[in-house]
Amino acid sequence: MARWEPNASQRLADVALELFAERGYENTTVLDIAKRAGLAKSTFFRHFQDKREVLFGEDALTGRLVTAIAAAPTEAAPLEAVACGLDALGRDVFTPARRAFTVRRRAVIDANPDLQEREALKGVSLTASMARAMEHRGLPDLVARATAELGALALKITYERWSDLGNTDEFSAIARQALSEVRAATLTAIGRQAARGDRDLS
């Protein structure tokens, strides 16, 4: 067997998700994954630190998101810069070819509380990265943080809708819709709070 197997990383990831679904995450070992893929255990560790990294090892999402936010036109409003970042994810990360893998990944995580906690921590880290990207665009700290929180909410909604088996829309289209809904909900909340404040002052 050749030392470097073609597409070994994706083969291992696909097989890992199959086994996680069949046996459960806790009951699947690295050796199980390597054997099912027809590869050596050492090959697995050339691509992943452990079996959890199959689900969380890719950092492409954060990198592409913040790079696209930074590259958004200077005159772009904060949430429009976020939209540019979400568009980039649709082009480079959440492509039609990745949908089936993402659907299976989500099912594995939804079935395991420990993995759900790890996913939540990843979300916190991504939001912090978005906030830093906004600060680098010259936004005040609080505005940058608020924009990042809204962007993270839109991304979460988009991911949930896009990874739904019955949804065939492109990621970018879903993201734009989700961001619009988040913006509208925020304006509604602000409007109601402002009206309540006016009543309190009268």
pLDDT of residue 59: 66
Helical H runs in the chain?
A: 8-23, 30-37, 41-47, 53-56, 60-71, 78-92, 99-110, 113-136, 141-162, 171-201
Query: Beta-strand (E) ranges in the chain?
Result: none
* pLDDT attached to residue 187: 92
Question: What pLDDT is stored for residue 2 in this prediction?
Answer: 42
Are 107 and 27 contained in the same domain? no
**Lookup: tokens for 154:** 């839109």
- Identify residue 17 by its one-letter amino acid code: L
- Nearest-angstrom CA–CA distance, 186 and 82: 15
Mean pLDDT of 114-135: 94
Residue 28 has pLDDT above 70, yes or no: yes
Domain match, 34 and 71 both: no
Residues 82 and 106 placed together within one structural domain of the fold: yes
**pLDDT tens readout for residues 81-104:** 999 999 999 999 999 988 988 999
49: CATH: 1.10.10.60
**105/179 same-domain check:** yes
| DSSP assigned state of 98 | G
Q: Quick: pLDDT tens for 41-51.
A: 999 999 999 99
Domains in the chain, number: 2
Mean of pLDDT over the chain: 89
Q: Residues 82, 85, 89, CA angle at the centre, nearest 5°?
A: 140
Confidence of residue 5 (pLDDT cuts 50, 70, 90): low
Average pLDDT over residues 131-139: 97
Model confidence, pTM: 0.84
**Helices in 57-111 by DSSP H: which ranges?**
60-71, 78-92, 99-110
Both 122 and 44 in one domain: the answer is no
Pick the closest to residue 148 from 191, 102, 85, 88 (CA basis): 85
DSSP category for residue 114: H
102 shares a domain with 12:
no
Average pLDDT estimate for 55-62: 78
